[in-house]
């Protein structure tokens, strides 16, 4: 594993458990306040001297090395998170795409030159991007590799030191990736990983004057609390969503049903940008639900290491119990169970619910589980109103053949992104990603994250080739 700060073994270890088997897959020594402070102090010594070309080379080398160890990392992801091996292999591929784009962007982070008039003379103003300093990346349990890479790759590309605090539920992948980075040639004092209980080490990270920026992915309550504590540090928050796929009466229902099933069930529904609500026009709802049920029934769930399995476990049994309870409440509120609903430990059967009330907890709150809840609406206006009714505003998808209807809806939704004939789960490292309202602030996506992780400095010079006087 990655070499962390030397500490006295106090017997404070975290046992990492496979959610499917309940067996230990590793043990990690927990960091305490003094350990975190040592890590911060070490990363603070990074002098930001790596050239853009060196960063490009190191990021590309990191990607190449990770690709040769794809199966190893996918196995580790599945072992500690319960994601099915199919999804874990895809996660490594997404991480590779992020690393390779970051390599390309490392030499593209530049400013501009402007001609300005100042006090009756001409000047040249040049803007340059400088690293913010030390970036602290706090990541969640879902996608334990790519959630780290999404934050760490742009931080390194922008020449920052970076400290990662992975979820205490899935720390092994982050530690293995940090070791891979050092083996790929990154300076040891550029990267730190701390593992511990959030309530103990979180305040140390957030409150440290040596941390210059926090980038956080997690729950709304934690994000709001963090926002009140960071002071004048730079901050990016990705706080999840309640993302809809809106299916209109003129849509290709077979294509929409496939989008709905894939977007609702991938990573066992544990994705901030996954489909959490299916908002379907009443006129085609019966036909759509029939197709959706067939798609969901075709998905196999069970042992996440079985290559034929499409859906693994939730992160733990408590998470599966919460999903089960919300499904039960939704049915009490009038929803009809079309398929699924069974739970075995941390496994939850892929489930379709129809006629879900838009005010039931399952679809008002962000629900992490393999659920496809159908909310029936009268028309476009009703679909817009239901979509905008929650506190979240991350992404949305719209299934329709009409560009005019799509644009009418897209311009009225209070979300960070809208896709035509794609689910809200559409993902590319080349585009900005982030939300509005309680879904967060700032943007991820390699190029956009690099700018978030930089400070702009203006350098003012006399206009070249002249005495600087302004000619009329």
Q: Which of 138, 57, 52, 147 minimizes the C-alpha distance to 95?
A: 147
**How far from chain centre, in Å, is Cα 98?**
12
pLDDT of amino acid 472: 45
Which residues, including other chains, have CB under 8 Å from residue 134's CB and lie 6 or more apart? 40, 43, 44, 46, 160, 161, 162, 163, 210, 211, 212, 213
CATH number at residue 177: 3.40.605.10
CA 227, 221, 311, 260 torsion: positive or negative? Answer: negative
Question: Do the Cβ atoms of 166 and 174 come closer than 8 Å?
Answer: yes
Q: How far is the C-alpha of 59 from the C-alpha of 99, rounded, in Å?
A: 6
Can you give the pLDDT at residue 81? Answer: 98
pLDDT interval class at 5 (50, 70, 90) = low
Residue 176 has what pLDDT?
98
| Both tokens assigned to 264 | 């609702």
Half-sphere exposure of 187 (CA within 13 A, CB side): 19
What pairing do the DSSP bridges indicate for beta strands 13-17 and 24-29? antiparallel
Q: What is the pLDDT of residues 240-275, one digit of tens each?
A: 899 999 999 999 999 999 999 999 999 999 999 999
Predicted pLDDT at 463: 85
Reported as a single tens digit per residue, the pLDDT across 171-227 is 999 999 999 999 999 999 999 999 999 999 999 999 999 999 999 999 999 999 999
Please tell me the least confidently modeled range out of 45-59, 151-165, 379-393, 452-466: 452-466
Task: Check which CATH number belongs to the domain holding 376 and give it.
Answer: 3.40.309.10
379 and 328, same domain (yes or no)? yes
Residue 150: the pLDDT is 98
Contacts of 374 (CB under 8 A, 6+ apart): 278, 280, 285, 288, 289, 292, 352, 353, 354, 355, 356
- 306, 333: one domain: yes
The residue-averaged pLDDT of 346-353 equals 98
Indicate yes or no: pTM above 0.85: yes
Query: Does residue 408 sit in the same domain as residue 295?
Result: yes
- Give pLDDT, residue 120: 79
390 and 438 fall within a common domain: no
Does a structural domain hold residue 426?
Answer: no
Which pLDDT belongs to residue 138?
98
pLDDT at 433: 96
Task: Tell me phi and psi for residue 323, to 5 degrees.
Answer: -65, -45
Do 186 and 251 fall within a single domain? no
How far is 310 from 88, CA to CA, in rounded Å?
Answer: 11
> Is residue 468 one of the residues assigned to a domain?
no
Residue 468 has pLDDT above 90, yes or no: no
Average pLDDT for the chain? 95
Query: Kind of pairing, strands 395-399 and 244-247?
Result: parallel
Q: Which residues are catalytically annotated?
A: 238, 272
The answer to whether residues 103 and 125 belong to one domain is: yes
The rounded distance, in Å, linking the Cα atoms of 102 and 106 is 6
Q: What is the pLDDT of residues 81-139, one digit of tens each?
A: 999 999 999 999 999 999 999 999 999 999 999 999 877 788 999 999 999 999 999 99
**Percent with pLDDT over 70 in the chain:** 96
The answer to whether residue 467 sits within a structural domain is: no
* 339 and 452 fall within a common domain: no
Tokens for 348, please give them.
Answer: 């939850």
- 464 in a structural domain: no
Overall number of domains in the chain: 2
Q: Is 404:382 a contact under the CB 8 Å cutoff?
A: no
Residues 287 and 398 reside in one and the same domain: yes
Pair (255, 236) in one structural domain = no
Domain enclosing residue 288, as ranges: 244-420
CA–CA distances in Å: residue 462 to residues 98, 113, 156? 40, 12, 34
Calculate the dihedral angle through the C-alpha atoms of 463, 465, 468, 470, rounding to the nearest 10 degrees. Answer: -90
Q: Which residues contact 282 (CB under 8 A, 6 or more apart)?
A: 376, 377, 378
- pLDDT tens digits along 8-45: 445 588 999 999 999 999 999 999 999 999 999 999 99
465: in domain: no
In a domain, 204, yes or no: yes
Single residue among 397, 420, 443 that ends a domain in this structure: 420
pLDDT at 470 over 70: no
Does 43 lie in the same domain as 153? yes
Whether the CB-CB separation of 324 and 353 falls below 8 Å is answered with: no
| 186 and 68 inside one domain | yes
pLDDT greater than 60 at residue 1 = no
Residue 4 has pLDDT above 70, yes or no: no
Q: Are residues 389 and 439 in the same domain?
A: no
* Inside any domain, residue 199: yes
Give Cα 362 to chain centroid, integer Å.
Answer: 21
Q: Of all residues in the chain, what percent carry a pLDDT higher than 90?
A: 93
pLDDT surpassing 80 at residue 469: no
CA distance linking residue 133 with residue 306, whole number of Å: 43
């Amino acid at each position: 594993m990655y070499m962390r700060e030397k500490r006295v073994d106090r017997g404070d270890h975290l046992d990492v458990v496979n959610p499917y088997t309940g067996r230990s897959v590793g043990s990690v020594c927990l960091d305490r306040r003094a350990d975190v402070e040592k890590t911060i102090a070490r990363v603070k010594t990074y002098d930001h001297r790596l050239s853009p070309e060196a960063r490009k080379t190191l990021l590309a080398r990191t990607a190449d090395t990770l690709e040769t160890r794809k199966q190893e990392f996918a196995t580790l992801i599945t072992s500690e998170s319960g994601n099915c091996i199919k999804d874990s292999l895809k996660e490594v591929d997404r991480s590779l795409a992020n690393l390779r784009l970051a390599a390309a962007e490392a030499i593209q982070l530049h400013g501009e030159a402007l001609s300005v008039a100042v006090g009756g003379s001409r000047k040249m103003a040049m803007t340059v991007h400088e690293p913010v300093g030390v970036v602290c990346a706090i990541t969640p349990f879902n996608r334990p590799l790519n959630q780290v890479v999404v934050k760490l790759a742009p931080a390194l590309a922008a020449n920052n030191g970076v400290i990662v605090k992975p979820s205490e539920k899935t720390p092994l992948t982050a530690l293995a990736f940090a070791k891979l980075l050092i083996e790929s040639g990154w300076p040891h004092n550029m990267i730190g990983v701390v593992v511990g209980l959030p309530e103990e080490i979180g305040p140390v990270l957030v409150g440290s004057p040596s941390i210059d920026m926090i980038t956080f992915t997690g729950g709304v309550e934690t994000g709001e609390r963090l926002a009140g504590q960071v002071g004048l540090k730079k901050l990016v928050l990705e706080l999840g969503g309640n993302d809809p796929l809106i299916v209109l009466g003129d849509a290709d229902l077979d294509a929409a049903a496939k989008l709905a099933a894939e977007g609702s069930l991938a990573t066992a529904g544990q994705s901030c940008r996954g489909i959490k609500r299916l908002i379907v026009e009443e006129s085609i709802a019966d036909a759509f639900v029939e197709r959706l049920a067939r798609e969901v029934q075709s998905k196999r769930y069970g042992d996440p290491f079985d290559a034929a399995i499409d859906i693994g476990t939730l992160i733990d049994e408590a998470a599966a119990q919460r999903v089960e309870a919300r499904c039960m409440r939704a049915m009490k509120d009038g929803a009809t169970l079309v398929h699924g609903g069974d739970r075995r430990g941390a496994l939850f059967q892929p489930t379709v619910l129809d006629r879900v009330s838009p005010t039931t907890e399952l679809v008002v709150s962000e629900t992490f589980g393999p659920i496809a809840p159908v909310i029936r609406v009268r028309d476009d206006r009703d679909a817009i109103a239901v979509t905008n009714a929650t506190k979240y505003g991350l992404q949305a998808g719209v299934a329709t053949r009409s560009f005019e209807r799509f644009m009418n809806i897209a311009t009225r939704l209070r979300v960070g992104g809208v896709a035509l004939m794609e689910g809200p789960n559409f993902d590319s490292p080349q585009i900005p990603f982030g939300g509005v309202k309680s879904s967060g602030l700032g943007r991820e996506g390699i190029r956009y994250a690099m700018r978030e992780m930089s400070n702009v400095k203006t350098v003012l010079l006399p206009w070249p080739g002249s005495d600087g006087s302004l000619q009329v």
